[in-house]
Amino acid sequence: MKFRTFAIFVGPSVVLMLLFIAWPLVSVLIDSFHVSRPVMETVSVEVCTPGFLTQTCTREETIRPLVDAAGQPVTERLYVGLESYRQLLQPDVIAHAFSAGGKGLGEVLNIEFFRALRFTITFTLVTLPLVVGLGLVLAIAMNAVVAQLRGVLIFATLLPFIITPVIGALSIRWLFVGDAVLTNFLEWLTGHPVAMFAQGWTIEILMYTYRVWHVAPFAFIIFYAGLQTLDQDALESAIVDGASRWERLRLVIIPHLAPLIIFVSLIHLMDAYRVFDEVIGFSSQAHVISLQYLTFNFLMPDQTGGRAVSRAAASSMLTMIGIVILLIPLLARTWRDHKRGR
Amino acid sequence: MSTARALQPGAGLKLLNGGFMTLWVIVALFPMVWIAVMSFRAPVDALATNPLDVLLGPVTLRQSGGLSVIGIVLGLVALIGLFIAPGRIARAMIPRMGKVWLGWLVTCALFAALAAIVLLGALPLAVRAAEWLLAPIPLVGTLGKPFIGTTIDHYRAVWVTHEFWRNFLNSMVVTFGVVTVSLTVGTLAGYALARSGSNLAFWLLIIALVFRALPHSVLVTGYVPLFLQSREALQPLWDSAALGWFLKLFSAQAPTLYGQPIAIIFVLVSINQPFTIWMMRSFFANIPRELDEAARVDGCGYLGAFRRVIMPVMWPGVLTTGLFSFLLAYNDYLVTALLLDAQSQTMVPAISQFLNRDTRAADQIEAIAAAVSIAAPLFLLVMVFQKQIVSGLTQGAVKG
């Protein structure tokens, strides 16, 4: 394929990605070193109040935003270096926490960014084995079901995966909120009053549960497809060799699925690191937040309508560093494959 | 695929397996089914502590009537009829219309009309009539008595009072735009990437992979200041001599991109582009090279070969990729919540207006009705396109 033809075909896609992905990335990087703020001016105003015989007048110095001819406040853009990062990471608090008299890790986790980072990482690591495990069990179980039933069962299994994440999270929240069905069930089961949304750790459990419920069908369908290409001869010779059911699973089926398990794990790592919809669906922001939610929150207008863009930019950059670290092994592997392929 | 006899599990294992699958299906479906049931009950019933009250809705029954056995049976018959109808209509109409796409269009229009007539007019009338006719007959008459309380008040409140249909239309505009643009651009790129073995193609794919992993919040951080100030930022383009006359054809001034569904379409298309080109590439890699090489030997250019040879066989891949674009655009919360204003909001972020009001008992049920309204189209989508979704998911995996 000549370069010109290639360029014509790929052109629109590349232009879109440059314009809407690469360019924003650069602008975020630049934004994270700058702050925009309204220019303030100090004016001295004579304030007079009516008094007896003469007015009482005082001169006051007030600070107010500078306004241009159109009545819009003038803003200036300042280079602040790493100031936004410092506000996020608060190195002085960390230093204090680990010095004598500090409270250690607990104090660090009071900082919003580290709270978000802690949850994001726990979330990723806790859900990963559960998703892969449940997906694997579902695939093996589905393979043993009579063929006529499989269509319906796959349909039912896929629904949690297809559903809008925010809606899926909400649907689980409504089962537990207040006096709802499953809260009642839990209370009946344990004999204690249960309030799932009163403390952080119960909300976190619900969030893990939701994510496993949502993504396990994806893992399932990949593994199920992998099982269809399983070499039956290998399985039969394993039986002839006297392998038990468990040994067959461990020595034949799992090695066959290994590349798919890696694939699912990688996709899940990327997606779980981006956890966001759960925070919205479970309204957990008072207790638990994620890295994406942190940025989202900076970008939402506050009471005065301002958006903390530079802090959002800084937290975005930090989030991105995390995903790059996660991706390095994958990229290295792809590069090796490409080299070998040529 | 038949399994060898020796591989058949024993009876105990079969039972265990069956039990596990049953449990899973309940876990998978319960949350959605339960909130769907809740959305049709009066608040007293929906929030009742006794699950049976939620299921049967005794208070709802007293307040606003409900379904009878006859109603349920007739409703099921109508649903099964509607499930079969599209295929029948398509078989009848497509040969008659001459062109396949015209046939499908007519089919869709006819089906929509039929569904509207049956569900909104004929079915309620038929149920009413049957109940009235059977009421005097002893025993059979009880079948016509409503016994499950049902109300559609919450749906009416959501769609009419809170004007959710506006959000629905916005969702449709955004989703339709994303699917069409994303497929047009992505198909071309995917084809070229599959056919070119150059290093450039490899690096493009790797960069796309990195882009695929980017958290969306990072990108949105870049968009927000730009979108809010786009009028000032873009005005020089409008004033310039070279481009200005052209851009002024569209609008006299540079637009503010914030709150513009069109702008959101391009944002979502770009965010989705890495995934789209990877997926289309793996589909095209499965189409033998010889096919379009033969066409080029016969004198077609790349574009000609693409149009005449590839386009007729690429539709399964396009359909699957389109479904995933649809899901991304339809399900998005983060991007649309930050870049659209109240008037142009799509359905998913619009649900937060129902979540934050919690003063009346009905508020929560209205939020639930809104959630069910958002999920229902997806449900239909999976029903129709299950095979494509499964094949799309597995294809991506097998190719790596």
Is the pTM higher than 0.90? Answer: no
Tell me which chain B residues have a C-beta less than 8 angstroms from the C-beta of A174.
31, 34-35, 38, 364, 368
Element holding A72 (H helix, E strand): none
A89-92: Cβ within 8 A, 24+ apart: A89/A113, A89/A318
Number of residues assigned to chain A: 342
Greater confidence, A150 or B9? A150
pLDDT at B334 > cutoff 50: yes
Q: How far apart are CA A135 and CA B248, in angstroms?
A: 55
- A301 dihedral zone (left: phi>0; alpha: psi -120 to 50; beta): beta
Cβ-based neighbours of B133, under 8 Å, separated by 6 or more = none
Cβ <8 Å between B34 and A338: no
Q: Which of A167-176, B116-125, B310-319, B353-362 has the highest mean pLDDT?
A: A167-176
Cβ <8 Å between A158 and B389: yes
pLDDT at B394 > cutoff 70: no
Tell me which chain A residues have a C-beta less than 8 angstroms from the C-beta of B389.
158, 162
Mean pLDDT of chain B, nearest integer: 79
pLDDT given for residue B100 in this prediction: 64
How many CA atoms within 13 Å lie on the side-chain side of B287? 24
Amino acid at B31: P
Question: With b meaning 16 or more CB within 10 Å and e meaning fewer, what string describes A40-71?
Answer: eeeeeeeeeeeeeeeeeeeeeeeeeeeeeeee
List of chain A residues with pLDDT < 70 = 1, 71, 304-305, 341-342
Cβ <8 Å between A5 and B192: yes
Cβ <8 Å between B17 and A222: no
Amino acid at B238: W
Q: Which segments of chain A are extended strands (E)?
A: 34-38, 40-49, 56-65, 75-79
Q: How far apart are CA A282 and CA A277, in angstroms?
A: 8
Cβ <8 Å between B393 and A12: no
Domains of chain A, first to last: 106-300+309-334 (1.10.3720.10)
DSSP B307: I
Amino acid at B386: Q
Report pLDDT digits (tens) over B30-76.
Answer: 988 888 888 888 887 777 777 787 777 777 777 777 777 777 888 88
> Which residue, among B57, B20, B85, B228, has the nearest Cα to B153 in the 3D structure?
B57
pLDDT at B99 > cutoff 70: no
CB of A276 within 8 Å of any CB in chain B?
Answer: yes
Q: Which tokens hold the place of A65?
A: 């935003």
Cβ <8 Å between A171 and B266: no
pLDDT given for residue A211 in this prediction: 92
Element holding A260 (H helix, E strand): helix A254-273
Question: A34-38 and B66-67 as β-strands: parallel, antiparallel, unpaired?
Answer: unpaired
pLDDT at B3 > cutoff 60: no
pLDDT at B396 > cutoff 50: yes
Can you spell out the DSSP letters for A140-162?
Answer: HHHHTS-HHHHHHHHHHHHHHHH
pLDDT given for residue A1 in this prediction: 67
Chain A and chain B share a number of CB contacts under 8 A equal to 290
pLDDT given for residue B2 in this prediction: 45
Q: How far apart are CA B266 and CA B51, in angstroms?
A: 46
What are the two backbone dihedrals, phi and then psi, of residue A48, each rounded to the nearest 5 degrees?
-115, 135
What are the two backbone dihedrals, phi and then psi, of residue A40, each rounded to the nearest 5 degrees?
-100, 145
Tell me which chain A residues have a C-beta less than 8 angstroms from the C-beta of B186.
13
pLDDT given for residue B84 in this prediction: 74
Nearest CA to CA, how far is B183 from chain A (Å)? 10
Cβ <8 Å between A295 and B221: yes
- In terms of Cβ atoms closer than 10 Å to its own Cβ (0-12, 13-18, 19+), residue B69 is middle
CA-nearest residue to A16 within chain B is B270
Report pLDDT digits (tens) over B370-380.
Answer: 888 888 888 87
Tell me which chain A residues have a C-beta less than 8 angstroms from the C-beta of B216.
274, 276, 292
pLDDT given for residue B1 in this prediction: 42
pLDDT given for residue A16 in this prediction: 86
pLDDT given for residue A216 in this prediction: 92
The answer to whether B92 touches B171, Cβ cutoff 8 Å, is: no
Q: Which tokens hold the place of B80?
A: 């099964």
Measure CB to CB from residue A155 to each of B209, B333, B382 and give the nearest one. B382
Q: C-alpha distances in angstroms, B301 versus A74, B187, B288, B315?
A: 56, 17, 17, 21
The answer to whether A131 touches A264, Cβ cutoff 8 Å, is: yes
pLDDT band at B400 (very low <50, low <70, confident <90, very high): very low
Nearest CA to CA, how far is A105 from chain B (Å)? 27
Cβ-based neighbours of A319, under 8 Å, separated by 6 or more = A291, A292, A295, B215, B217, B218
Q: Which tokens hold the place of B264?
A: 């959101």
Q: How far apart are CA B59 and CA B46, in angstroms?
A: 10
DSSP B256: P
pLDDT at B263 > cutoff 90: no
Q: Which tokens hold the place of B382?
A: 């999976």
> Which residue, among B154, B170, B151, B173, has the nearest Cα to B162 in the 3D structure?
B154
- Give the position of tokens 């009416």: B156
pLDDT at B280 > cutoff 80: yes
Tell me which chain A residues have a C-beta less than 8 angstroms from the C-beta of B21.
141-142, 145, 153
Cβ <8 Å between A313 and B49: no
Question: A75-79 and B66-67 as β-strands: parallel, antiparallel, unpaired?
Answer: unpaired
Question: Which residues, in sequence order, are bridge partners of residue A46?
Answer: A59
Q: How far apart are CA A149 and CA A155, in angstroms?
A: 10
Measure CB to CB from residue B269 to each of A16, A23, A171 and give the nearest one. A16
CB of A243 within 8 Å of any CB in chain B?
Answer: no
Q: How far apart are CA B390 and CA A110, in angstroms?
A: 44
Q: Which tokens hold the place of A93?
A: 């608090």
pLDDT at B4 > cutoff 60: no
Q: Which of A89-93, A303-307, B21-25, B351-355 has the highest mean pLDDT?
A: B21-25
